[in-house]
Structure 1
Amino acid sequence: MKFIKRIQFVFHFRKSLPFIKDFFTSSAVHPGKKLLTGGLIAAYAVIPADIIPDYLFLVGITDDIAFTTFMLQLAVKMAPPELREKHQLHIK
């Protein structure tokens, strides 16, 4: 059941873009949470190691999708309730 919810979350990625902007610009989000999320994203972008190489086309991007999903879920969990309500993003 959790796997299905994660897949649904990925398909609603466009809905998450305004949330990401608000997450990083909101004063309600603790700066440490912003730093943690931004640091993990930057580290993943800089470190060239992939679990599955990207040249394997569709199979190769699965680890990138999984990481993106994980980071979005982490940001939603760390966001204040009013920000989650504003963007109607809920993770259980």
Structure 2
Amino acid sequence: MKFLKRVQFVFHFRSSLPFIKDFFISSSVHPLKKLVTAGLIVAYAVMPADIIPDYLFLVGITDDIAFTTFMLQLAVKMAPPELAEKHRLHIK
């Protein structure tokens, strides 16, 4: 059941973009949480090697999708409940 919720979460990524913006500009989110999230994203972006090379097309983007999902779920967990509620994002 948890796997299906994560897959559904991936397909609703576009609707999560306003949450990401609010997460980084909100004064109710601790600056350290913003720094950790941004740092992990930047570290992944500049990492010279992928877990699965992207030239393998559909298989190659799997690790990128997994990382993006992980980071979004982490941001939702670190956000104040009222921010997640405002955007109707819930991770259990």
TM-score, length of structure 2 as denominator length = 0.98
**In structure 1, how many angstroms separate the alpha carbons of the residues matched to 2:2 and 2:62?**
17
User: Unaligned stretches of 5+ in structure 2?
Assistant: none
Equivalent position of 1:3 in the other structure: 3
Q: CA deviation at 1:49?
A: 1.3
**Ranges of 4+ aligned residues in structure 1 off by more than 4 Å:** none
TM-score, length of structure 1 as denominator length = 0.98
Q: Aligned runs of 1:1-92 on 2, under 5 Å?
A: 1-92=1-92
In the TM superposition, what whole-angstrom CA distance separates every residue of 1:65-85 from its partner, at most 9, and x where no partner exists?
A: 000000000000000011011
Aligned partner of residue 89 in structure 1, secondary structure? coil
**In structure 2, how many angstroms separate the alpha carbons of the residues matched to 1:60 and 1:48?**
14
**In structure 1, how many angstroms separate the alpha carbons of the residues matched to 2:48 and 2:91?**
30
- Give the aligned length: 92
**In structure 2, how many angstroms separate the alpha carbons of the residues matched to 1:54 and 1:2?**
27
The sequence identity of aligned pairs, in percent, is 87
**In structure 2, how many angstroms separate the alpha carbons of the residues matched to 1:50 and 1:3?**
23
Amino acid at match of 1:88: R
**In structure 2, how many angstroms separate the alpha carbons of the residues matched to 1:48 and 1:61?**
15
Q: CA deviation at 1:48?
A: 1.7
Q: CA deviation at 1:24?
A: 0.2
